[in-house]
Structure 1
Amino acid sequence: MTPGWAWNRQLGPPMRLRSLAHYRLSGRSVMGEHYAPEQWRKCVTVAIVGLGVRGLGVLERLISHASLVDEKVTFNLHLVDPNPAQPHQYDIHQPDYLLLNHACAYVSMFPSVTSVAHAPATSGPNLFEWARERGMRVASDGFTVGGDGRQVMPNDNLPRRVFGEYLLWFHQYLRDNAPDNVRLVSHVSRAVDLQPKGDTSILYLDNGDRVEADYVFVTVGQLPSRARDDQDLSADVRIGTPYPLPGQLASVHPSETIAIAGLGLTATDAILALTVGRGGRFDRSVVPERYVPSGREPRIVVFSRSGLPYRARPAPSSVVSYEPVAFTRSAIDRLRAGTPQLDFDRDVLPLLLLEMRVAYRRAALLQEAGAGAAEVFLLRARAAAAAGRLHTLADLPGPAEFDAEAAYHGTLTPGAQDSPAPIDGEAYQRSVESWIAADLANAARGFEGSPFKAATEMCREVRDTIRYAIEFGGLTDASLDRFYRYHVETINRLVIGPEKERSANILTLLRSGVVSMSLGPNPLVTWDSGAAAWSLSSTAFPVRSTIRADWLYQGYTDRLRSLQDDTSVVGAMARRGVLRRFKPDSAVVSSIDVDGQGHPVAEDGSTASRIWIFGLLCEGATFYNGYLTSPQRFERAQFDVDHAVHELIKSVRREGQITSAFEGEACR
């Protein structure tokens, strides 16, 4: 056990789990007499398919709940993953310039007590504390982590491979601290099929083994779409799978041009792989910083449908947190009283925009007059909301001070409001550079100093209320499609952009000419078979331009549209009718169908009460599943898994196998 951290349970100190050899299910044998089967009266077998971030969260909850069982019952936990605790985006072998967009003090695999009600929360270090304990330091380039440089600070965005190391440590920490009635069995393999068999499920693995489990958790995530089978040469110069980096870009030569589709985090990673990853560096000894090329960079052209960059993330702060006034569950309930299904644009978005105006005024008052004045304003706002006249409150900022609608949607011309619309790509890029510079100035002031950033951050702060409004058929089919086609990207552009230092790097690369964003919004992209090159033509300006590119890089991840194409256990479950798509007629939503407890809905409409599915597979039926959890705050992902494991324990108890160590079934 790591010094200074203890397993937070009420049943005494942790017991160290012995090292377990792999065993075959048919023999039901384990190395070591400590786990001889005759010591136990009952066994419960649980399989976790997928041991990434969500799967490790399930494992933590199962171990914690098992520690409350006072009868001699073994929990056989089968962990199925070909690369346990190492999802590809957190591979420990990737370069250090690929960073988390979360400050390290705000990332933790250990749940908050506010998220888990039915079993004690395991205690342990967040990513910052863990890195500090190991003496990690940040080099002068601002991203390389090793033994040299300054100490890691709470607001540092550490390399993703460091978080991958944290995941491996967390996995081992859980194994080392599991109670004696938990037996962990690793299957370094891939599940390819699941066959229901009465009250159990038989999992078939690609190494020929099988596992018969009483309960199953599936957390494998969504597979990317298959590569297009083009008949021309374009397939050879289209990079349809963005990761792993920099390997996916190894064939791009310095003399060539690469077009990157997308302006989000994935595109930022690709730009860094083609610049810093090829020996370039940012010289911060001058202001503004300058880029020193290595000579190995290709020409980089980036574009997207919106043509708008993602906004830079300031350092995290608690100043943006308050009890919402306009965008609340009760407000959603009042809307739904008139119609069971809402339209996001018509019904929900006006409340969100109103809350952004409240957040702006509160932040401005905090900055100008202090906490007392801000609290008095919130009291007036709550009274006005209760009377149904919040939108008329004179204290709220008007469009001239803060245009919530423009801040949310962005504009085609991201320059100043009074600047003329760009007539060509060169003018457009200049306006983009001005837009990024202004955004960076806000990010540098932080949430405390920028009411604008505090207002846009509301889209993150109220994400659970957004969930409440849209999940499980809360929107009409047409509105749900528009939400995932438009609003998800819009919200992401506001609140999950790169850290401000990375946004500054992109601005430097634009100004240096290494990167171009001159195509503008929604360019026409075609394959020119005669020239054997990609042709990208601007569509938004009076003066049109065309750029030829040798490569097209898809800087985003397409998800499978058909479950029948899924080669994992998920596709097999669909073919067996165990699960189905949530909106089978949608060209946008690719989620599987789950109920409110996380059980998959079968083709016949029934639910599998002994199977749970969590994570990106559910994105569409539920919302915002692909995020890292933060310490000391409520996290829906941990809350849902805690309830699922509690449901499992109650199911076993009903069958007379175990009793709870606590009266009333829940730990208080």
Structure 2
Amino acid sequence: MTPGNRPEIALIGAGPRGVSLLERIVAHAESGEAPRAGLTVHLIDDTQIGAGRIWRTDQPRELCTNTLAHAVTLFTDDSVTMTGPVRTGPTLWEWGMLVAHRSNPTARSRRALETIRADHIAVFDAVPFPRRVADRYRDELREWLPESHPSRALYGEYIAWFLSGVLSRLPDGVDVRTHLGRVVSVDEVDGRQLLTFASGEKLSADAVVAATGWMPRAPTPAEREILEALAADEGLVWVRPDSPADQDLTGVPDGADVIVRGLGMGFFDTMALLTIGRGGAFAPDPDAPGGLRYRPSGREPVLHVTSHRGIPYRAKSLYRGLPPRAEQRHLRSFDTSAARPIDFDARLWPLILKDAFSDYYVTLARVAPDALLAPIEDVLAAIERAPGELDALTAAVAPFVPDPADRLDLATALHPAPSGFGSPEEFDGWVEAFVAADLAEAERGVDSPLKAALWSIASARGPASRIGAFGGFDAESREGGFRLLHSVGATFGSGPPAFRSRQLLALVRAGVVRFIGPAASVRVVDGSFVATSPAVAGSEVRSSVLIDAWMHFHDVAASDDPLVHSLHASGRIRPFRVAARAGGSIVTGGFDVDPSTGIALHPDGSPDRALHIAGIPIDEVMHDAIISPMPGTDPTMLRETDRVARSALEVALAAASAPYSGAHR
């Protein structure tokens, strides 16, 4: 290495993925040459270093994760497919329990400590005790369980603690510098990477990783029409798609009728912010479905809600612990060495359906053995022999299950809403009954055959995503069965905590939430937003307020981010394309990168010299980029951060070893 050339890496984004990249860079550096040569890593974020925008610690406590506390980690373990060294540590639940115990030891916390690995406790003790966290989150930690749904702010504190641990154990020669600001361009100048901030500040590095998380997207044609209507009428209020913590709800008037689009986690966050966030409260009511009633504050609006399906995501099951691992006996038999691209609809979807039927009837045989006329082995054999089609599987098991009420009706589970309703009141009543029935199944936990089948489908997203990563599925599959898997898998497995569904039922009974119907169109007519569902007669709702309770996925070609614009203009990035069965290829919204390194690919397919892209901006390419790392599952994020960190370190070392021009150093 040329004397005086100290390698430098810039990480754009300091949320969970950014700090994981830093940890992996340090881990690789400790086992390589970087500590001897020296290394500087620049950690950059425009919101909060060590939490990022989505998990920042100043957001309302009403916002919670839909992931269980003991199912979240930022530490690697022996399951992770990687080349770097393993660095184990506490899960989010273990960390929270240790915080609570160090602050106020109790019999409960002492019992919990007996279940936490000694090396995890040692990692916790090696980092300064976060007493501020214990004080700020005392009430939340008092009820802390492995199956708790943490507030998003508390998860942000865990990320920040993880970062502080990395910084406290830097090897000699490794330096980390933090920068609070937004990077708007990265240019190659004299062989180095010149980063320009919105403030005008400049920073140079040898390698860059853009781990930016959710990036802004340019308005769609329909959104431009809304913006034009807003410009013409100051009385209209539109809350644009975004993270709930970043959506400005202050313009939503008290008591107003409001149209809300979206019935996933974004909706439940909005629901919480506009009810308990405005002074309302829930109280126990054993006589009410869901066991709660709502005490209004008078400040909450009336939420008229729609989505493509028109019904809320299903509640997470109450397992009184972590969810069971879906067996996926058929899906895991798939030969992953099969030639790409793969026809998902023909090759994988049949296996996923067979797994769902198998898990349903294995659970039914355990909880209600008299429902079957034959041993479960015979039922599973019939499923194995049957074609992997919904009707064929349904027919194959029917002779073994005399009562139709005991059979898996997966067609209805996939598309639960009937074709039409005579009035909004009829539809409201149907949705209320649907949510109540789903909650009853969630309460059964591992004893619900239906939830076992749905969890099997939801769990298939992980292995299917790995098979389909980087063009593993053809374009038709991505628009067909693979898209359906992620759509219904989200409604089955990425829904709200059960307590949110209970709150929803209470709000429906209180008249605070009403349902418009599936696939409602929203247009601006005579100075109002007007929503109408074709499936519900008389469903028209007029309002001066529209809330889009969801987030846009990325689209390289439609980005509204200045960094993406600058990379486009300099010819350093291109969108990812997938092959089609009929020939040719289809453009996706993701950034094209080299699978083994995360290095961005130029329009001609050549790799960039130094620019890497990681995480959510390549979800359409890598898949499974949004899910937080779960311990013991070889999580996608940790596999990615390890390989990208290694590449960034190698690029920086190689660049710093080149003849030194002195430019921008």
Please tell me the residue identity of whatever aligns with 2:570. Answer: R
Find the counterpart in structure 1 of residue 38 from structure 2.
74
CA–CA separation in structure 2 for the residues paired with 1:400 and 1:243: 41
Find the counterpart in structure 1 of residue 507 from structure 2.
509
Trace 1:215-254 onto structure 2 (pairs within 5 A). Answer: 215-226=207-218, 228-229=223-224, 230-233=227-230, 236-245=236-245, 248-254=248-254
Return the TM-score normalized by structure 2.
Answer: 0.80
Picking from 163, 176, 180, the partner of 2:168 is 176
Find the counterpart in structure 2 of residue 571 from structure 1.
565
Contact kept, 8 Å, 1:362 with 1:378, in 2: the verdict is: no
Find the counterpart in structure 2 of residue 361 from structure 1.
361
Find the counterpart in structure 2 of residue 632 from structure 1.
632
More deviation, 89-98/266-275: 89-98
Change (3 A) 1:586 1:556: farther
Contact kept, 8 Å, 1:592 with 1:618, in 2: the verdict is: yes
Contact kept, 8 Å, 2:330 with 2:351, in 1: the verdict is: yes
Please tell me the residue identity of whatever aligns with 2:457. Answer: C
Contact kept, 8 Å, 1:353 with 1:404, in 2: the verdict is: no
Matched, 1:257 2:257: yes
Trace 1:487-636 onto structure 2 (pairs within 5 A). Answer: 487-517=485-515, 519-529=516-526, 532-541=527-536, 543-559=537-553, 561=555, 563=557, 565-583=559-577, 589-597=588-596, 598-608=598-608, 610-636=610-636
Trace 1:352-501 onto structure 2 (pairs within 5 A). Answer: 352-367=352-367, 377=377, 384=384, 401-403=406-408, 405-406=410-411, 409-413=414-418, 422-446=421-445, 448-482=446-480, 486-501=484-499
Contact kept, 8 Å, 1:325 with 1:382, in 2: the verdict is: no
Contact kept, 8 Å, 2:591 with 2:617, in 1: the verdict is: yes
Please tell me the residue identity of whatever aligns with 2:614. Answer: F
Deviation at 1:459? 2.9
Please tell me the residue identity of whatever aligns with 2:550. Answer: Y
Please tell me the residue identity of whatever aligns with 1:307. Answer: G
Matched, 1:306 2:326: no
CA–CA separation in structure 1 for the residues paired with 2:356 and 2:503: 29
CA–CA separation in structure 2 for the residues paired with 1:103 and 1:321: 14
Trace 1:321-340 onto structure 2 (pairs within 5 A). Answer: 321=325, 323-328=327-332, 330-331=334-335, 340=340
Find the counterpart in structure 1 of residue 25 from structure 2.
62
Change (3 A) 1:76 1:396: farther
Contact kept, 8 Å, 1:422 with 1:428, in 2: the verdict is: yes
Change (3 A) 1:323 1:75: farther
Q: Secondary structure at the match of 1:255?
A: coil
- 1:280-309 CA-to-partner distances (Å, cap 9, x unmatched) read 111115442111111111111111121121
Change (3 A) 1:198 1:356: farther
Gaps of 5+ in 1: 1-36, 138-143, 414-419, 658-668
CA–CA separation in structure 1 for the residues paired with 2:606 and 2:379: 47
Contact kept, 8 Å, 1:113 with 1:120, in 2: the verdict is: no
Change (3 A) 1:148 1:50: closer
Please tell me the residue identity of whatever aligns with 1:85. Answer: G
- 1:165-200 CA-to-partner distances (Å, cap 9, x unmatched) read 222222111111111131111122222112235764
Change (3 A) 1:483 1:216: farther
Contact kept, 8 Å, 1:41 with 1:72, in 2: the verdict is: no
Change (3 A) 1:200 1:383: farther
Number of residue equivalences: 595
Picking from 303, 307, 320, the partner of 2:324 is 320
Matched, 1:191 2:179: no
CA–CA separation in structure 1 for the residues paired with 2:8 and 2:603: 26
Deviation at 1:222? 3.4
CA–CA separation in structure 1 for the residues paired with 2:81 and 2:190: 31
Deviation at 1:213? 2.4
Find the counterpart in structure 2 of residue 32 from structure 1.
none
Contact kept, 8 Å, 1:592 with 1:617, in 2: the verdict is: yes
Contact kept, 8 Å, 1:320 with 1:454, in 2: the verdict is: no
Change (3 A) 1:454 1:388: closer
More deviation, 484-493/596-605: 484-493
Q: Secondary structure at the match of 1:179?
A: coil
Change (3 A) 1:198 1:469: farther
Deviation at 1:328? 2.9
Please tell me the residue identity of whatever aligns with 1:569. Answer: L
Matched, 1:295 2:291: no
Deviation at 1:655? 9.2
Change (3 A) 1:404 1:646: farther
CA–CA separation in structure 1 for the residues paired with 2:330 and 2:168: 47
Q: Secondary structure at the match of 1:166?
A: helix
Deviation at 1:314? 1.7
CA–CA separation in structure 1 for the residues paired with 2:587 and 2:603: 20
Find the counterpart in structure 1 of residue 131 from structure 2.
none
Contact kept, 8 Å, 2:68 with 2:322, in 1: the verdict is: no
Change (3 A) 1:382 1:117: farther
Please tell me the residue identity of whatever aligns with 2:350. Answer: P
Matched, 1:127 2:92: yes
Find the counterpart in structure 1 of residue 154 from structure 2.
162
Find the counterpart in structure 1 of residue 581 from structure 2.
none
CA–CA separation in structure 1 for the residues paired with 2:609 and 2:168: 30
Deviation at 1:55? 0.9
Identity of aligned residues (%): 25
CA–CA separation in structure 2 for the residues paired with 1:379 and 1:61: 47
Please tell me the residue identity of whatever aligns with 1:310. Answer: Y
Please tell me the residue identity of whatever aligns with 2:567. Answer: M
Deviation at 1:552? 0.5
CA–CA separation in structure 2 for the residues paired with 1:127 and 1:394: 42
Find the counterpart in structure 2 of residue 284 from structure 1.
284
Change (3 A) 1:164 1:290: same
Deviation at 1:489? 2.6
Contact kept, 8 Å, 2:194 with 2:204, in 1: the verdict is: yes
Please tell me the residue identity of whatever aligns with 1:266. Answer: G
Alignment RMSD (CA, Å): 3.7
Change (3 A) 1:214 1:242: closer
Q: Secondary structure at the match of 2:43?
A: strand
More deviation, 388-397/286-295: 388-397
User: As a proportion of its length, which structure holds more helix?
Assistant: 2
Contact kept, 8 Å, 2:243 with 2:550, in 1: the verdict is: no
Deviation at 1:516? 0.3
Change (3 A) 1:653 1:364: farther
Q: Secondary structure at the match of 1:513?
A: coil
CA–CA separation in structure 1 for the residues paired with 2:483 and 2:383: 36
Change (3 A) 1:323 1:367: same
Q: Secondary structure at the match of 1:558?
A: coil
CA–CA separation in structure 1 for the residues paired with 2:9 and 2:157: 26
CA–CA separation in structure 2 for the residues paired with 1:52 and 1:91: 8
Contact kept, 8 Å, 2:146 with 2:322, in 1: the verdict is: no
Deviation at 1:386? 13
